[in-house]
Amino acid sequence: MLEITNLVKRYGRNDPVLKGLNLSVDGSSVVSIVGASGAGKSTMLRCINRLVEPTSGSIKLNGHELVNLRGSELRHSRRRIGMVFQGFNLIDRLTVMENVLSGRLGYVSFFQALTRRFPQTDINRAFNLMERVGIAHYANKRADQLSGGERQRVAVVRALMQEPEILLADEPTASLDPKTSQQIMRLLQTLASEMSLPVLINIHNVTQARMYTDRIVGMRHGQMIFDGAPKDFNQDALDAIYGGIESPEEDSGEPQHQTAQEALA
């Protein structure tokens, strides 16, 4: 159960990117968050695992407050939040297996991480998950030798290695071709129900949001302006979210842009 209340994020002295956002997600529901570039989707997702520091508000995961955590407390909470990125964010020069096991970095000691001596249970879990998504035969290949869809599967497995209580996906299909992106969406959907894991997906593709998710949240200018089932997501809602904004699909560089801003702030 994730509860976001009155979340505000402001970069420097600019207008807030998130203006008092409220959202709660329970059980194993797959929620898609749609909105034009700059609506604050990516910022909201990154506030949850504190890659972005919220300005004010509260975020609770299973009753546990995430805002204001520091040091090891923050790292312990992050272990329970898996994240999948638009650019996959794999470590290219390491093998698939090393990438997958890096999901356990929050649990193992520095020495174990250095010598790549992960506990047997972790290795078993890694192989099970890799077999589940069909990449087990790549275990010893370098991550940069895989195709886009395969790389995103590695990233999903890495996130699941954390034994997360929630999975965040920031435009997980925006760098993939249409067919592969459908496969990844279907994978996220089935994994969510298999593991009864709530999944939050930022997505530009409204058709896929309708097809693969249980609930759609529409954002504009840092505020939530739609929250409902895919069947209720009609033309009016679409206009309200994207209206007056030219071709929202065009600019997919939003997350990078925002992290750059964060770095400057």
Partner 1 sequence: MVDHAAKLSDHVWSRYDRKEQWTRYAVYLATLIAIVWAVRDIDIFWPWVWDAPNQIQSLGARMWPPRFDTWNAIFHAMLETVHIATLSTMLTIFIALPVSYIAAQNTTPNKATLWLGRFILVSSRSVNTIIWALLFVAIFGPGVLAGILAVMFRSVGFIGKLMGEAIEEIDRRPVEAMEATGASKMKVVLYAIVPQVMPAFFAIIILRWDINIRESTVLGLVGAGGIGVLLQGSIDLFAWQTVATILLAIVALVILGEAVTSALRKKVI
Residues that bind partner 1 in the complex, under the rule CB under 8 A: 49, 51, 72, 75-83, 85, 87, 89-94, 98, 102-106, 110, 113-114, 155, 158, 162, 259
Taking the complex as a whole, the smallest distance from the CB of residue 198 to partner 1 amounts, in Å, to 16
Classify 6 in phi/psi space as left (phi over 0), alpha (psi -120 to 50) or beta.
left
* C-beta closer to partner 1: residue 17 or 81: 81
Question: Nearest-CA neighbor of 67 among 56, 83, 82?
Answer: 56
Taking the complex as a whole, the smallest distance from the CB of residue 125 to partner 1 amounts, in Å, to 14
Given the DSSP bridges, would you call strands 56-61 and 64-65 parallel, antiparallel or unpaired? antiparallel
Taking the complex as a whole, the smallest distance from the CB of residue 87 to partner 1 amounts, in Å, to 5
Taking the complex as a whole, the smallest distance from the CB of residue 75 to partner 1 amounts, in Å, to 4
Taking the complex as a whole, the smallest distance from the CB of residue 262 to partner 1 amounts, in Å, to 10
* C-beta closer to partner 1: residue 90 or 130: 90
Measured distance CA(112)–CA(103) in Å, rounded: 13
Find the Cα–Cα–Cα–Cα dihedral 100, 105, 110, 115, rounded to 10°: -10
SS3 214: coil
Handedness of CA 140, 145, 150, 156 (dihedral sign): positive
* C-beta closer to partner 1: residue 78 or 220: 78
Burial of 208 (0-12, 13-18, 19+ CB in 10 A): buried
* C-beta closer to partner 1: residue 85 or 233: 85
* C-beta closer to partner 1: residue 88 or 242: 88
